[in-house]
Amino acid sequence: MTLDAVLNRIDTTLPEALDRLLDLLRIPSISTDPAYAAECARAADWLVAELNSLGFQASVRPTPGHPMVVARHEAPGKHILFYGHYDVQPVDPLTLWDRDPFDPEVQDTAKGRVIRGRGSSDDKGQLMTFIEACRAHKDVHGTLPGNITIFLEGEEESGSPSLVPFMQQNADELSADIALICDTGLFADTQPAIVTMLRGLLGEEMTITAANKDLHSGMFGGIAVNPIRVLTRILANMHDDQGRITIPGFYDDVDELADPVRAQWQDLAFDHARFLGDVGLNTPAGEVGRTPLEMIWSRPTAEVNGIWGGYIGDGFKTVLPSQAHAKVSFRLVSRQDPHKLRTAFHDWVKAQLPPDCSVDFHDHGASPAGMMTITDPAFEAARAALSEEWQRPAAFVGCGGSIPIAGYFKSVLGMDAMLIGFGRDDDQIHSPNEKYDLECFHKGTRSWARILDRIVG
């Protein structure tokens, strides 16, 4: 079988693939620090050279920030776009690293062999699994596996300021039948997953002002309104006794979970007691009557992320503050419109203000949820391929966080995305001593070979 030949090629050339990954990891492509701009460009050039050597038509594309990499191989059949990012997080604090973060090595640990170094899991190791799968297919067949575009970003770790404009300007070139994103992880250590829903994010900062200056609480306490009391009352009103959010219209565009997906989630071995126990908790909060995975993946939230006002220094100061402040974030699901909800939140807060109080808002971003249309046969094909490789049933899962690129593929380019990754929870991404399990790099490459075999033929 030709697939078996490709998988065998991946197995026998693993040492060479590992050497190439280590070469890429040695490039300190830290996107958020202007001092590393040349290194980001060097990483882009390195990837272009690799992709051109495989037969892609690859090039560096300049942006106002760090460059994009676009590589194309035209062939008949379903057009696949693969996305990854070559930039990495800063390494501070350097003193907590056991070795130079840009001098990567393979290490033996109690849990097996790992690739240690900044970017090993997020996202250089992950994107190289796809490139190495293409390489093995080329070695066996003499050609690349189908109609593929590779799109690699250099600003993901610094907010992606150039991403949407670049996608808009190059929409015809980047549009495909489906996108593949390798920037997620396994559900469990040996259980693969495809993320099909991502929560959106809405951020708000508000300041409630009462008197025109701080007041002496002995002279004004009781007669003057205290903005901290006003603020905390409003925030406390944001949830009812059942854990539901009370902002009018908040749930209007929230869909219930589809029964087949709910059944898959119920079959997952999710231990919520351990999940909470690891952070010193034991009792699920949130909406009454919802399972823990529902609350993490498919239900919206409203959380107070910060609150301050008055005197908070050492000692004591009897003051009625002039202002009170809070930062509030909302995780959004389904069809919730962040801009509509922002207006609803503003109106809801203003309606609760007593006389002599005003409120100012400062917006902190707004992105909708990402919901993939899993009726495309490619989703089931990829799920079957992952199940074969890992010998455990892959599941369609949600993600409590936000991965904006998936939403941009939908809103800008009009295509769904499959988020398939091979990271593990203990990879320490964004932290000192980041690692990527050698097993994940190896089986991730084999997984992509199987997926490509099924969806592009």
Count Cβ atoms below 10 Å from residue 370 Cβ, excluding itself.
27
Least-confidence region, from 81-95, 214-228, 262-276, 430-444:
262-276
**What residues does 7 pair with on adjacent strands?**
none
Both structure tokens of 331: 């995780």
Asked whether residue 394 carries a pLDDT value surpassing 80, the answer given is: yes
pTM of the model: 0.85
Average pLDDT, the chain: 95
Confidence at residue 457, expressed as pLDDT on a 0 to 100 scale: 63
Residue 341 contacts residue 202 (beta carbons within 8 Å): yes
Confidence at residue 190, expressed as pLDDT on a 0 to 100 scale: 87
Confidence at residue 159, expressed as pLDDT on a 0 to 100 scale: 86
2-198+370-455: CATH, from 3.40.630.10, 3.40.1350.10, 3.30.479.30, 3.30.1300.10: 3.40.630.10
**What residues does 79 pair with on adjacent strands?**
147
Confidence at residue 145, expressed as pLDDT on a 0 to 100 scale: 95
Q: Which residues have CB under 8 Å from 405's CB, separation 6+?
A: 83, 153, 156, 160, 163, 181, 183, 417
Q: How many angstroms from the chain centroid is the CA of residue 105?
A: 26
Both structure tokens of 412: 């800008």
Calculated CA dihedral for residues 405, 18, 29, 105, nearest 10 degrees: 130
Band the pLDDT of 64: cuts 50, 70, 90: very high
Q: What type of residue is 198?
A: L
What is the mean pLDDT of the segment spanning 149-158?
A: 96
Confidence at residue 1, expressed as pLDDT on a 0 to 100 scale: 64
Sign of CA dihedral 397, 400, 405, 410: positive
For 331, phi then psi, to 5°, come to -90, 130
As its CATH architecture, domain 200-254+300-367 has 2-Layer Sandwich (3.30)
What percent of the chain is predicted at pLDDT more than 90? 86
What percent of the chain is predicted at pLDDT more than 70? 100
Confidence at residue 370, expressed as pLDDT on a 0 to 100 scale: 84
Same fold, 2-198+370-455 and 200-254+300-367: no
Sign of CA dihedral 102, 108, 110, 113: positive
Residue 122 contacts residue 25 (beta carbons within 8 Å): no
Summarize pLDDT for 72-105 with one digit per residue, the tens.
Answer: 999 999 999 999 999 999 999 999 999 999 999 9
Q: Which residues have CB under 8 Å from 118's CB, separation 6+?
A: 25, 28, 88, 89, 91, 101, 102, 104, 434
* Calpha distance 388→380 (Å, rounded): 12
Confidence at residue 215, expressed as pLDDT on a 0 to 100 scale: 93
Which sequence spans correspond to the domains of the chain? 2-198+370-455, 200-254+300-367
Higher confidence at residue 260 or residue 129? 129
* Calpha distance 200→302 (Å, rounded): 12
Summarize pLDDT for 278-337 with one digit per residue, the tens.
Answer: 889 999 998 999 999 999 999 999 999 999 999 999 999 999 999 999 999 999 999 999
